[in-house]
Structure 1
């Protein structure tokens, strides 16, 4: 199943890449790290690095996306969206593997 990036999220990342004048071939890298108030925190960065043995690569709406294989165990089925509203705006993670999430949505427990 892997991960899914919505069109809104892909467009926002492509806008950031263009506005910040990143090199061609810049990819969105998703991952997890230990920590956060619920156990794991989401990692979302821009990267030029890709390792065939350690990473999976996808394309969503013209955006190359890389997820390391260890993180994919916890992110499988996750949808990343970009939300804009009067109350907040930013990237959101809908992770079916999370049994508990923090109030801000940036960390989870699996």
Structure 2
């Protein structure tokens, strides 16, 4: 299992991408949270609201998921960050495997 973290400019784009990834069985679950973001862009510090997405999937779907997020994402340079999961309860892992691409 891995967790993939990315951010979106608004709820509409986050929900659209997450629902597509769920329908395509590239992820089993997503958690969305609105937050304030501070970052460098084109030589100056920007401040915005963003929606952070925590996507849960299988390790073997990483490359396909990463490419699909790039295709669907509204940002020119989206953060697509893989977080390896060292340990997870067996029941959750079994569910995640059953719900992602066969």
Q: Same fold (TM over 0.5)?
A: no
Scaled by the length of structure 1, what TM-score is found? 0.27
Scaled by the length of structure 2, what TM-score is found? 0.28
Please state which structure has a larger fraction of its residues in strand. 1
**Higher RCO structure (Cα 8 Å, ≥6 apart):** 2
